[in-house]
Amino acid sequence: MLAILACFLASQVPIDQPPRLRTVLPNGAAVLVERIPGAKTLALDLFASSRGTEETPITNGLRHLLEHLVAKGPKGDLDIELESAGAFMSAETSREAMIFKFNLPPDQLKLGLKAVTAIMQMPPVTSENIKNEAMILEQEAALQESSSKLSGAGWMRAYGDQGLDPIGNLDVIRNATPAMLDPIHRTQFLGSNLVITVVGDVDLDEATKLCSAVLAKAPKGEPIPQLRKPTGSGETPVDAPGEAVAVAVPGFQLPETAAKLAVALAIASEADRCFVFYTPTIHPGLITIGRTEDPAGLLKIVNRSTWQELFTRGKALGILWVRRLIDTPEHIAYFRGQLISARVDLKPEMLLENLNSMSQREFADALESFRSSQRVLVIGK
């Protein structure tokens, strides 16, 4: 009987796992693992949502400073440790989250999670550390691209202090103290603010278990988010070449956002070297079309465009925009992580559904918003 049972079990074909698995832990942290058989690299991203640590004039830039400090690890050598194993890390601070991206060899998930564990710890911080990082941040600010300056000016016009650029105020950064950074770290790394995404040739259950063990160490807490509301419109100048048109949008999951994104992409396709900026979020946000040429000529394109000319192209470009963000392990980990850190049930397919079902009326209304009195015009000089 035992021999027959053993033979039966040996003949069973393994059941393929589903492509992805999303898990929410008791402390509110979330894990998303997606399996891509044969993937040559492993993408691991850590998101620490800005809920409860949003920018204010008093704190503008402290999250960016903190990102630089924690990315070094408690001993200051995290990047060297990773690179010696063929892995690489990059980090960024957006309005919505602090993000740490790891590009790993396919079998080095544990190495990546060791780095995540290090980042979740508040490193030793001294006045000298802050002074050194402030100099680096000053260099970053000096290298900020014109497109980012145009977009940032639009955010400030549309949302006032709630639209402050996370690159930060250099005076705030220079005058930071360790005591000012500690509460930001505590809030930023609460369990409910944390998301890990893993994409590659991995076992879903095993990878989820390993990631969950790391995030389970984060304390439980519910930070109070800042409720962002549009406060302004009209024209605003910026010290950069070009011009931009920006409109406020509601949450990522809503049809209005899909329609405005489709319009922006269609208009941007009408001229060379145009850009479109949009950061997915459940909060009111901003979609910006810009052109850094001087003279840019963007406003003429916006004002002469018709929905009949742009509708089919806008829908196609919107769908392509989404699909390009889920075409590689690195892109998938980043985009799906952005969405989950905003709200755990958000997914790219929501935007695809809204784009596919978008009506001509929704598109026409969205186009009119780029010409209405509620839009923001950013004029370079």
Q: What's residue 7's pLDDT? A: 39
E strand or H helix at 99, and its extent?
strand 97-104
Q: What's residue 353's pLDDT? A: 98
Q: What's residue 297's pLDDT? A: 87
Question: pLDDT digits over 187-214, tens only?
Answer: 999 999 999 999 999 999 999 999 999 9
Give pTM, 2 decimals. 0.93
Amino acid making up residue 367: L
Question: pLDDT digits over 89-146, tens only?
Answer: 999 999 999 999 999 999 999 999 999 999 999 999 999 999 999 999 999 999 999 9
Tens of pLDDT along the chain (381 residues) come to: 333 333 333 333 344 567 999 999 999 999 999 999 999 999 999 999 999 999 999 999 999 999 999 999 998 899 999 999 999 999 999 999 999 999 999 999 999 999 999 999 999 999 999 999 999 999 999 999 999 999 999 999 999 999 999 999 999 999 999 999 999 999 999 999 999 999 999 999 999 999 999 999 999 998 988 889 999 999 999 999 999 999 999 999 999 999 999 999 999 999 888 999 999 999 999 999 999 987 778 999 999 999 999 999 999 999 999 999 999 999 999 999 999 999 999 999 999 999 999 999 999 999 999 999 999 999 998
Q: What's residue 340's pLDDT? A: 97
Handedness of CA 145, 146, 148, 152 (dihedral sign): positive
Residue 296 CB coordination number (10 Å)? 21
Indicate left, alpha or beta for 86 from its phi (over 0: left) and psi (-120 to 50: alpha): left
Amino acid making up residue 279: T
Question: pLDDT digits over 340-365, tens only?
Answer: 999 999 999 999 999 999 999 999 99
CA distance 296 to 219: 50
* DSSP letter string, 15-83: PPPPSEEEEE-TTS-EEEEEE-TT-SSEEEEEEEE-TT----TTTTTHHHHHHHHHTT-TTS-HHHHHH
Which residue stretches of 99-145 are H helix?
109-119, 127-142
CA distance 200 to 145: 32
188, 146, 181: which is closest to 51 by C-alpha? Answer: 188
Nearby residues of 72 by Cβ (< 8 Å), 6 or more positions away:
78, 79, 123
Q: What's residue 322's pLDDT? A: 97
Beta strands at 97-104 and 88-93: parallel, antiparallel or unpaired: antiparallel
CA-based radius of gyration for the chain: 22
CA distance 191 to 30: 8
Q: What's residue 226's pLDDT? A: 85
